[in-house]
Amino acid sequence: MFLATKCEPRLAKLKLLRDIGFKHLELYTSREWITPEVIDRALSFPFEYVVHAPIDYFDESVVKFAREIGAKGINTHKTITDEQLYKMIVLAHKHDLFVTLENEGTAQKVPTFGSIINLQDWIKAKERFPGLKLCIDVEHAKIKEVYPEIFTFASDIKHIHLSGYINDEIGHERPVYENHEQTLEVIKLLKLIGYEGFVVCEHDVEFHTRAIWERTFNDYVALFEE
């Protein structure tokens, strides 16, 4: 499995993460970022990518963007209809891209259609959408009290979001080292199921600093990739 982090494709952030040593990155997308200039920018860096679909749509432009930057897959929330999602899964698979659906546990800014918030929801989703894989957001799973049970879907798991979440009072998407015990526990779980994908240290944008990214990388890269 591979230590990764997540940001929008701003040139300064890509340079910073490259210089720190990250090799795996989940890119935010939006209409602002799906441009030829950003595609060229992403290709100029030595990252392996997964693309996070915008929170308000998932269409052909997202698949095209992911394909053109050489991404391995696309992670999405359930913000489009069943028919649209099925169409995007088929299109992505034609380009050898996996699609993961993220479990959700906090209020979203846009309406969702059948969010994955418990174990039965995921069972129904994978039956409805052949080939769909699961992104486990550990923070969301803890909020909805399906952690660690959600890891029983070992063969379905293709992508991981991890933060240092402890409780709502302390805040969301905290640096992973703020809950070191949980991080070690997740590493152990992932090794037990033979997970081989990205583990995205998902920090709120206020934590997108050199000091936090450096500590995250230095403290955990060897543990994830040993």
Residue 217: its H or E element? helix 210-225
Range of the domain at 35: 2-225
**Can you tell me the distance from the alpha carbon of 121 to that of 105, in angstroms, rounded to the nearest whole number?**
12
Residue 12: its H or E element? helix 11-20
Query: In degrees, to the nearest 5, what angle opens at C-alpha 118 toward C-alphas 177 and 107?
Result: 65
Q: Are 101 and 116 in contact (CB under 8 A)?
A: yes
Residue 181's pLDDT is: 97
- Global pTM? 0.94
The domain spanning residue 138 has which CATH number?
3.20.20.150
Structural domains of the chain, count: 1
- pLDDT tens-digit series, residues 125-180: 999 999 999 999 999 999 889 999 999 999 999 999 999 999 888 889 999 999 99
| Residue 207, both tokens | 């934590």
Q: Average pLDDT for residues 118-128, to the nearest whole number?
A: 90
**Can you tell me the distance from the alpha carbon of 32 to that of 118, in angstroms, rounded to the nearest whole number?**
33
- What is the band of 109 on the pLDDT scale with cuts at 50, 70, 90? low
| Residue 25, both tokens | 């990155």
**Can you tell me the distance from the alpha carbon of 178 to that of 161, in angstroms, rounded to the nearest whole number?**
15
Residue 118's pLDDT is: 82
- What is the band of 116 on the pLDDT scale with cuts at 50, 70, 90? confident
Residue 226's pLDDT is: 59
**Can you tell me the distance from the alpha carbon of 217 to that of 188, in angstroms, rounded to the nearest whole number?**
18
